[in-house]
Structure formats: structure tokens, C-alpha cells
Amino acid sequence: GFNWFFYDDDAFGKIVHHHSHKHNDSVPSGYKYHVLKVDFVNSQPLQSITPATPSAPYYNYYFGKNAEKWATNVKGYYQLLLNNVWNGVNLKLYNSPVGLKYDFVVAPNTSPTTIQLKYSGQDAVLLHEGKLVVKTSVNTLIENAPEAYQYIGDKKIPVACKYTLKN
């Protein structure tokens, strides 16, 4: 699975702004954050990751004083494919103009009901107009209604799908 890390935009913005300019506005001593955990129910151990579309910048990671644990000139990627998260289901993660997006790619003869996500740490979760609404202490995450399709020859054919809540 993965974790979403959310923070209070207003308080964080005041802290960042305060450090970059001199002014007398009140600055919070900290800010609220919230971690939302998403588990892949009955998934397989991660087998492999296929990176695609390398980014121009590189990253350096210096942890502690032991240089053997450092990593330099690490490439970033705009897209990753996590292979066989469930048998016959890959997870495609990619960067878009609105932020991180993900698609589940289901192989032929694989049931999409294999895909099950368990959210933990939220204040509330509900469905509204086909969208999954996850409320936290600092914001609301809205997952748009899922879109599914299959290719038959050259034609992209829509397939009905929707979120289903359990417990």
C-alpha cells in the first residue's frame, strides 16, 4: 500500500512565508498534519518495479554520517509500474498536472474485484456522486469515480465500474 501525508496548508504557508520575508504577522509555532494509510488487501509481495520517463533533476540522499549509506545522483521518474500487485493486476503511478495519479491495469481474464483498498486513519469515508470522499483532520481527499475500459481491436470500450464500501 501507500501513505498520504496531508498538512494544514494555511499554517504551513505562514511558516514558509515567515522564513522568507520579514514581517510582523503572527506565525504558528507548528502545523497540523494527518497521515492516511491505504493498504492493498490480499496483495502479493512487491515483485518488481518498472520505471519510465526519467525526470531531468537528480536527487541526493545523505542519511547519517556513514557515507556508505548515502545515495547521490539518484534519478527520479514521472511514471512507475508496480508489477503484479495482485495476480494479473499492475499499478501504474504517474505524475500529472493535478498531482499524483494512479491506474490499476487488469490483465485479460482477471477479475477487477481482486482490487481491494483498505483506508486507515481517516475521520470519515463515504461515497458521493460516484466519488470516494475521505475526510481527515486537515482536508478532504476526493477520489474521482473510477473509469474502466478495455481494448477490443483498436476500439476503447467502456466497462461499468464503481466504488463499493465495506464496513
pLDDT at site 96: 85
Q: Residues 36-47: what's their mean pLDDT?
A: 94
| Per-residue model confidence as pLDDT tens digits over 71-98 | 999 999 999 999 999 999 999 999 888 8
pLDDT at site 80: 95
pLDDT at site 98: 83
Mean model confidence pLDDT for the chain: 87
pLDDT at site 4: 86
| Per-residue model confidence as pLDDT tens digits over 9-28 | 665 555 555 555 555 555 55
CB 79 within 8 A of CB 53: yes
pLDDT at site 75: 92
- Percentage of the chain lying above the pLDDT 90 cut: 63
CB 132 within 8 A of CB 143: yes
DSSP secondary structure of 45-104: PP-EEEEEEEEEEEEEE--SS-GGG-EEEEEEEEEEEEEEEETTEEEEEEEETTEEEEEE
Alpha-carbon distance 132 to 38, whole Å?
13
Edge-to-edge strands, sheet with 33-40: 2-7, 33-40, 117-120
Residue bearing cell 490483465: 107
In this structure, the number of other CB atoms found within 10 A of the CB of residue 71 comes to 10
Using 50, 70 and 90 to split pLDDT, how confident is the model at 6? confident
**Exposed, middle or buried by CB within 10 Å (0-12, 13-18, 19+), for 45?**
exposed
Using 50, 70 and 90 to split pLDDT, how confident is the model at 100? confident
Say which amino acid occupies 19: H
Query: Cα torsion at 112, 167, 100, 137 (round to 10°)?
Result: 180
pLDDT at site 135: 95
52 phi and psi, to 5 degrees? -145, 155
pLDDT at site 145: 92
Residue 30 confidence (pLDDT) above 70: no
